[in-house]
Amino acid sequence: MTTAMIDIRPVIEATRYRVLAAISSAHFLNDMLQSLILALYPLLKGSYHLSFTQIGLLTLTYQITASILQPLVGSFTDKHPQKFALVIGMGFSLCGLLMLSQAASFHLLLLAAGLTGTGSAIFHPESSRVARLASGGKHGLAQSIFQVGGNAGSACGPLLAALIVIPLGQGSLAWFSPAALLAMAMLWQISLWKSRQQKSGGAKAAMALHPLPRRQTLYALAVLMALVFTKYLYMSSFHSYYTFYLIERFGLGAQAAQLMLFIFLLGVALGTILGGPIGDRIGRKRVIWFSILGSAPFTLALPYVGLSGTVALSFVIGLVMSSAFSAILVLAQELMPSRIGMVSGLFFGLAFGVAGIGAALIGSFADQYGIATVYHITAFLPLGGMIAILLPDLKRAS
């Protein structure tokens, strides 16, 4: 393990903040566009008379497409680097956005969601690889900078939907296509930098010795995957159904509910940027433990408070729970440093897949028992964070 750290340092001498800012900005644009699908749900539900189950199927199509393809894309590009994969991925997202703006049936909505999911499957493992290449050894900080762009974009999606898409209608989604073209131009430049790094040997920084025996590595990865399952199953109740909960329980309008969702997503973005660098300083395990289990008191209280309390608690839940993913991803990369693309794709894909399956199950449950009941049941999920005690502490071990 000591040899592995010595091998990494001479290759990556400094943190490339300009590259990290660029890939984070591209992540912002990517996830802003993709979040418009979720933010559009109240409008689509009324226009197409969709049930909660159909809303869940839309999310399932998007999330499962991304979930299945991401580890496959990451594993393939580990062995066969693709120079402009990031640009191609954004192209898929652009096609999905344009189709969503013109879709006239539920089946076309599903196809648009699938195209967008394919774009996400290509974008996330490749851009996570770029973040690690540019990290200068500050892997948690780099992943947080990269991921906060995506979370900020996800937070802006509902805000833009409230201000533009819901008042002007589904066709106004096409107005956001210049953002996708801008992202493609940025990703073209990032791809050229990544290619130069790989040719000069920068990619070999990942080819380090595994810090644990194979059996312990697989065990630790299984625990991390279980924690991702717990986190994203709960988070899917917010991303897909929080607006409906606010509308039903407090009588808010669709625009006001989207603004409340923006507050939750703002907390998610802030938690993401804090989680990585804190993990660099105090260890990934402590951050993961606090993030998932520490959110339980707030999730348990949420169903019993008024509107102001709900908004405040949703912000705290987003802040605390979102700090985990950077630490989880970097710890997984440290466990398998020679398979960065595959590991990144696996965990991003798992997050998307759990969110998709969770959205479908929660939608069906909400149809039968009511949307308010969902938040009474899912409130107990963060208690699963107790299994973080089983994780190795690589910071201390090194």
210 backbone dihedrals φ, ψ, rounded to 5°: -70, 135
Dihedral angle computed from the Cα positions of residues 391, 149, 272 and 14, in that order, rounded to the nearest 10 degrees:
60
pLDDT in tens, 75-110: 787 777 777 889 999 999 899 889 888 887 888 888
pTM exceeding 0.85 = no
pLDDT in tens, 169-179: 788 888 888 98
Q: What is the largest CA-CA distance in the chain?
A: 60
379 residue type, one letter: A
Domains of the chain, CATH where assigned: 9-397 (1.20.1250.20)
Q: Confidence class of residue 200 from pLDDT cuts 50, 70 and 90?
A: low
Q: Confidence class of residue 40 from pLDDT cuts 50, 70 and 90?
A: confident
**Residue 83 CA neighbour count, 13 Å, CB half:** 7
pLDDT value, residue 308: 93
> How long a stretch of residues is the chain?
398
Sign of CA dihedral 41, 262, 375, 292: positive
How many Å apart are CA 360 and CA 240, to the nearest integer?
10
